[in-house]
Amino acid sequence: MIFESHAHYDDQRFDPDREELLLSMGEHGIETIINVGSDLEGVKKTLSLAGQYEFVYGAVGIHPSDISDLDEEVYGWLKEQCSLPKVVAVGEIGLDYYWEKEDGAKSSQRYWFCRQMELAREVGLPVIIHSRDAAEDTLKLMQGIHGEQIPGVVHCFSYSPEMAKEYVKMGYYIGIGGVVTFKNAKKLKETAAAIPLGHILLETDCPYLSPEPERGKRNSSCNLPYVAKEIANIRGISYEEVVEATRENARRLFTKVK
Ligand code: NI
């Protein structure tokens, strides 16, 4: 059975059929799903989905593009949610310089990324990191706060294989999703081959980033077999081995998952 480590079923694109889709996950071989909050509203919806479905767990955190949602009060509230039994991670948090080019705003992103890393350290939860067009700053910042002491995953990994190895050295997992099936995703295919299988997690980031042959359509966890098959091809191992190893990896990282 597949462990889906990063989904956004709170997204409005699932409004028409969310219930039906989630109830079909078992038939599609999906055992566990982590729904990841990105803005404050998304975190609230994540908590309610985790309450509603036994196999859905939640990550609470504010995405770098949504840090305008954050202040001390919200931060304190996020911290309280971390003690709920079904909240298994802090995320997604990080840096996104693709959507943000302005220096002052980038510096706020760094501030709240640090704060939310410290939150994870305090509550003893792993982190789910989003990093886009900010490779150098993300690594520097994490090294500066002894990020290697906080377990976590760099989700939707988009940097070089060399950078992936740096994170693996820090003990981090690398989240691989639909992009690995794209013909032009040379770097990610190299990364999927270069890092130890024991550090790979399967993820969709749905509704975004559908794998081939569903590229361009709304994504869901039901498409994860395409991702696992591609990783198996790249590494020359069986599909079952990829599914089993990534499931074990996720359960090792997200220790609150039952
Ligand atoms: Ni995401």
| pLDDT per position as a tens digit, 217-231 | 999 999 999 999 999
Tell me the mean pLDDT in the region 95-121: 96
36 alpha carbon – ligand 1 mean position (Å): 7
7 alpha carbon – ligand 1 mean position (Å): 7
Per-residue pLDDT band at 97 (split at 50, 70, 90): very high
Tell me the mean pLDDT in the region 201-209: 98
207 alpha carbon – ligand 1 mean position (Å): 9
249 alpha carbon – ligand 1 mean position (Å): 19
Are the C-beta atoms of 4 and 250 separated by less than 8 Å? no
**How far apart, in whole angstroms, are the C-alpha atoms of residue 46 and residue 31?**
18
pTM: 0.97
pLDDT greater than 90 at residue 32: yes
10 alpha carbon – ligand 1 mean position (Å): 11
175 alpha carbon – ligand 1 mean position (Å): 11
Are the C-beta atoms of 196 and 161 separated by less than 8 Å? no
Are the C-beta atoms of 176 and 218 separated by less than 8 Å? no
241 alpha carbon – ligand 1 mean position (Å): 25
39 alpha carbon – ligand 1 mean position (Å): 11
245 alpha carbon – ligand 1 mean position (Å): 22
pLDDT at 177: 98
Place of tokens 């993820």: 203
pLDDT greater than 90 at residue 101: no
DSSP 2-59: EEEEEE-TTSGGGTTTHHHHHHTTGGGTEEEEEEE--SHHHHHHHHHHHHH-TTEEEE
219 alpha carbon – ligand 1 mean position (Å): 12
51 alpha carbon – ligand 1 mean position (Å): 20
205 alpha carbon – ligand 1 mean position (Å): 5
111 alpha carbon – ligand 1 mean position (Å): 20
pLDDT at 21: 98
93 alpha carbon – ligand 1 mean position (Å): 10
**How far apart, in whole angstroms, are the C-alpha atoms of residue 238 and residue 243?**
9
**How far apart, in whole angstroms, are the C-alpha atoms of residue 63 and residue 66?**
5
Spatial CB neighbours of 97, under 8 Å, sequence gap ≥ 6? 106, 132, 133, 134, 137
244 alpha carbon – ligand 1 mean position (Å): 23
Return mean pLDDT, the chain: 97
Place of tokens 């955190």: 61
Per-residue pLDDT band at 17 (split at 50, 70, 90): very high
